[in-house]
Chain A
Amino acid sequence: MPEPSMTSLQRVLTTLSHKEPDRVPLFLLVTMHGAKELGLSIKDYFSKAEHVVEGQLRLRAKYQNYLVCNFYYASAEVEAWGGSVIFSADGPPNSGAPFIQSPGEIAKLKPPKVKQTPCLVRALDSARALKRMVGDEAPVIGVVMSPFSVPVMQMGFERYIELMFERPDEFAALMKVNEAFCVEWANAQLEAGSTAIVYYDPVSSPGITPKQKYLQTGFEVAKRVISQIKGPVAIHFASERCLPISGEIPGTGAIAVGVSSLEDLAELKKAFNRKMALVGNLNGIDLPNWTPADAESAVKNAIAKAGLGGGFILSDNHGEIPFQVPDEVLTAISESVRKWGTYPLTWVKDYA
């Protein structure tokens, strides 16, 4: 078997074109594990851009990861709007009490200025440095929260659902201000060095929003925003289902979709029918319990279901690997991709 010769970026671009690269690309979304590598607490790790840059580079080398990421944590967007963030010793920083306490406050909201907001500037600095370090060898992945999903952190899930269904005017006002911020934030990351943007949108999942409502709301928001982002966009459902809206999601303009372990990769591959590449779908919550053998089995199974013909990037299903996942499991995932993911996947036809 010839030694694969493509760069990580070439592999990713090839699979996004629904062609087979030399090997299935692996997006190991280890956002917090860099803290372990540097011997820092998660809070200290995220306090400086150079920490995240160093962490991402070390993790890329350690796990032969096919990307680096200038994403910090989802609640950074809440921090940017003036909300509070709760740091923990063993998990992603979480959003504190919602900063929108009533729908009446929405009219007064002003989006944060991206280039003057410290937590966003750190991520931009990281994108710039990572791009400088990896050049065109690997993609630098930036992240935005969808304007349709971020209100869960801005105002609390229950108040947001009530707003979505019962207060259309305030809902529209919130989407307008969130969309303006999201577009500016995404484009600032691309300008700084990110190769592509992941648009996290779990609230658009039919598990959370009925399809009919999604088509009137989250779908339209995504279409408007993605059309203004000046680079490739992947839409990610952060562990939530998307199969029932697989016919509609390509209409958002995104080129890839992050899928859930709750849905079958083979069914998803068939449903998206080469209109979008799949990113997924190892069960992130279950990963801390896995043995290396479990990891190999799951990787093999995922590649068998979705690898043929390209259009597939192996990753977890949430877009953020839990801090508790041990090195040996991450290493096993990486090694298994090299073992089973080298094209052509001749073994798949005999795989039961």
Chain B
Amino acid sequence: MSNQTKLFTRADKEELQAYLDKFENALLSLDRLAARQILSEIMGRFKKEESFRTLEGIIVPIMEKIGEGWEKGDVALSQVYMSGCICETLVKELMPAQAGSSQNGKKIAIAVLEDYHLLGKRMVKSVLLASGFDLIDYGTKTAAELASSVIADGVEILLVSTLMLPSAMRVKELRRILADSGNAVKIIVGGAPFRFDKNLWKEVGADATGNRATEAVSLIHKMMEGKDRA
């Protein structure tokens, strides 16, 4: 938010913050109509500031805050998910230009390994779409199937969402198959097993992990800028 708001006067910032607080409350109350109304007002009020009209300036900071609230135990996962769904819909309705544009410098894909628990994938996908990224959604695949798709499509950043420990362990197999083919796709993993075991992402050969959906945005930015290397 700071990058966007530094162009504003103090009065603008205060007014903006009041709007954003209302927007956050509307999302957490799952009030789609109020969220739409507030977002429309923000966009109308600050029309002169083109930079602020970017999705990242409005939605991602709020989603980031809601995600942090979930990590602290103040916000429920269902609220995070529904907030993402509402934002995804609003992006399509109110900002069709941004929804169609792409921030990608690299080809990005997302998948779940051998599991039909798809909530985490959907949440990350919502945040990325709302942030202006295009991505391929592979749904549920085995490690071998996913490796084939990644190679065939030339994917450069792959996000893998997991809920169960066996699915998380499959990332190791995925990495091995890809490495055997000489493919060095960047793999970002997330989900419960990686939250309960802080070193698991390294053990399975991933390049990064995130505790919440919105972290995917900053991790991808770092990878696109080549800043993910230790």
Contact = CB atoms under 8 A, between A and B. Distances in A.
A243 B130 CA distance: 33
Contacts of A94: 114-116, 164, 166
Interface stretch (A21-29, A178-186, A206-214, A226-234): A206-214
A161 B116 contact: no
B140 to A, nearest CB: 8
A289 B165 CA distance: 13
B196 A241 contact: no
B80 to A, nearest CB: 10
Interface residues of A, number: 37
B197 A208 contact: no
Contacts of B149: none
Given A158-B118, A285-B165, A285-B192, A206 B76 contact: yes
Interface residues of B, number: 28
A171 to B, nearest CB: 12
Given A90-B169, A165-B30, A206 B192 contact: no
A157 interface: yes
A285 B82 contact: no
A161 B114 contact: no
A97 B116 contact: yes
Contacts of A293: none
A203 B122 CA distance: 18
Contact of B197 (A96, A209, A285): A285
Given A94-B164, A158-B81, A162-B82, A209 B196 contact: no
A285 B81 contact: no
A287 B230 CA distance: 28
Interface string A233-246: 00000010100100
A88 interface: yes
Contacts of A206: 73, 76
A91 interface: yes
Contact of A239 (B70, B78, B166, B196): B196
B81 A207 contact: no
Contacts of A258: none
A90 B78 contact: no
Interface in B163-208: 164-166, 169, 192-193, 196-197, 199-200
Interface string B98-126: 00000000000000001111110010000
9 closest Cβ contacts across the A-B interface?
A: A91-B166, A285-B196, A157-B119, A210-B76, A208-B77, A161-B78, A285-B197, A158-B122, A158-B119
